[in-house]
């Protein structure tokens, strides 16, 4: 793998990382962005590309996929070097630079590093009965609805993703059952009510105990109230949440509090030339929202610009001034 030299290395290509990439370009920095996922967009792309987001400034409602598309187009103005499907594993300080090594051996030397790694490297929480069924009818994500057309779908879980997908697959799937082991849900109340008011069958205090089919999924067994019922299902979505792993970042000497990186008001971490923004940061009053990540991205990049080039100013001027 070729080594990369850049001004700013961004670790994480979620919404915060993508907006940071744009901002780095606006500040005249060369920028590289690494992500352990093969696609851009972080949690949005991985977990809810089809969901309508209502709380991004300037967009009364924007589909996750469309927001990411806009962020990628905006970031393109910075001509970023994307290093996808690779995880940042080590960080060392050199003279006037930081060197980050990726899991494929690539070494990235940067004047500064901005960590926008969200909830860390995340992997879906497995469904024990689903072992061996991934790609044969069972999925962890619903990146597009089309594969579910005309199918009997079982969704397992009681959180936002499970309820969002149940709602969104209506009118597409032939039937939808949502199976949850408790009768209380972690999902947004309004979404739960919408699902209750819909044709989705909610089966609580229940567990999927077996997936069956000849090659691909044909039915599932559900244990409910001590009895086992068999239900036709050509698709099962295991929406049991994620095992988030801060992973290698924990070994870098960063001050970490409750799995988040502590930053000051300029988004500076305890390590020289290393900044953080977005869901990964921690400070009193922190709120984990896309809108907040965007603001932190601008603060982080402007302050990183000065760390990289001490003759630069923190305040960049207004982007509209050059147009």
Ligand X SMILES: Cc1cc2nc3c(=O)[nH]c(=O)nc-3n(C[C@H](O)[C@H](O)[C@H](O)COP(=O)(O)OP(=O)(O)OC[C@H]3O[C@@H](n4cnc5c(N)ncnc54)[C@H](O)[C@@H]3O)c2cc1C
Q: Which is nearer to ligand X, 25 or 211 (CB)?
A: 25
DSSP 8-state symbol, 248:
G
Exactly one of 6, 97, 117, 234 binds ligand X (CB under 6 A); which one? 117
Any contact of residue 118 with ligand X (CB under 6 A)?
A: yes
Rounded to whole angstroms, what are the CA distances from 32 to 38, 105, 190?
Answer: 15, 16, 40
- Alpha-carbon distance of 219 to 237, in angstroms, equals 13
Query: Least distance in Å: CB of 288 to ligand X?
Result: 5
| Residue from the set 68, 80, 111, 116 that interacts with ligand X by CB under 6 A | 116
C-alpha 37, offset from chain centre = 9
Strand partners, 178: 155, 202
Asked whether position 88 contacts ligand X by CB under 6 A, the answer is yes
Q: Are 318 and 26 in contact (CB under 8 A)?
A: no
Q: Which of residues 213-252 bind ligand X (CB under 6 A)?
A: 247-249
Residue by residue, what is the 3-state secondary structure of 3-38?
CEEEEEEEECCCHHHHHHHHHHHHCCCCEEEEECCC
**Contact stretch for ligand X (CB under 6 A) within 110-118, 126-134, 192-200, 266-274:** 110-118
For residue 56, what is the DSSP state?
B
Which residue stretch of 48-56, 200-208, 217-225, 255-263 sits at the interface with ligand X (rule: CB under 6 A)?
48-56
Please tell me the number of Cα atoms within 13 Å of 307 on its side-chain side.
Answer: 26
* 14 lies in the binding site for ligand X (CB under 6 A): yes
Q: Is residue 279 within the footprint of ligand X (CB under 6 A)?
A: yes
Q: How far is the CB of 144 from ligand X (least distance, A)?
A: 16
Please report, as ranges, the residues that interact with ligand X according to CB under 6 A.
11-17, 34-37, 42-44, 47-48, 53, 55, 87-88, 116-121, 160-161, 247-249, 278-279, 288-291, 293
């Amino acid at each position: 793998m070729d080594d990369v030299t850049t001004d700013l290395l961004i670790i994480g290509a979620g919404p915060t990382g993508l907006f940071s990439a744009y901002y780095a370009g606006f500040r005249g920095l060369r920028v590289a962005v690494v992500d352990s996922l093969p696609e851009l967009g972080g949690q949005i792309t991985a977990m809810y590309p089809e969901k309508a987001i209502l709380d991004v400034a300037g967009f009364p409602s924007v589909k996750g996929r469309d927001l990411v598309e806009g962020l990628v187009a905006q970031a393109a103005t910075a001509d970023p070097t994307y290093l996808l499907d690779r995880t940042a594993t080590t960080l060392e300080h050199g003279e006037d630079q930081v060197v980050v090594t990726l899991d494929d051996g690539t070494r990235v030397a940067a004047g500064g590093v901005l960590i926008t790694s969200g909830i860390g490297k995340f992997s879906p929480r497995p469904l024990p009965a689903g072992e061996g069924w991934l790609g044969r009818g069972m999925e962890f994500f619903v990146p597009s609805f089309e594969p579910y057309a005309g199918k009997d779908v079982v969704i397992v879980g009681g959180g936002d993703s499970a309820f969002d997908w149940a709602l969104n697959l209506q009118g597409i799937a032939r039937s939808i059952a949502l199976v949850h082991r408790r009768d209380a849900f972690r999902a947004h109340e309004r979404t739960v009510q919408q699902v209750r008011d819909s044709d989705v069958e909610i089966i609580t205090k229940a567990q999927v105990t077996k997936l069956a089919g000849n090659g691909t999924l044909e039915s599932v067994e559900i244990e409910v109230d001590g009895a086992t019922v068999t239900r036709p299902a050509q698709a099962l979505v295991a929406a049991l949440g994620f095992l988030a792993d801060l992973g290698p970042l924990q070994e870098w000497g960063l001050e970490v509090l409750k799995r988040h990186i502590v930053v000051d008001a300029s988004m500076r971490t305890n390590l020289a030339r290393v900044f953080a923004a977005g869901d990964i940061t921690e400070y009193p009053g922190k709120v984990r929202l896309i809108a907040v990540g965007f603001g932190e991205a601008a603060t982080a990049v402007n302050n990183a610009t000065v760390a990289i080039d001490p003759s630069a100013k923190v305040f960049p001027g207004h982007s509209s001034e050059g147009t």
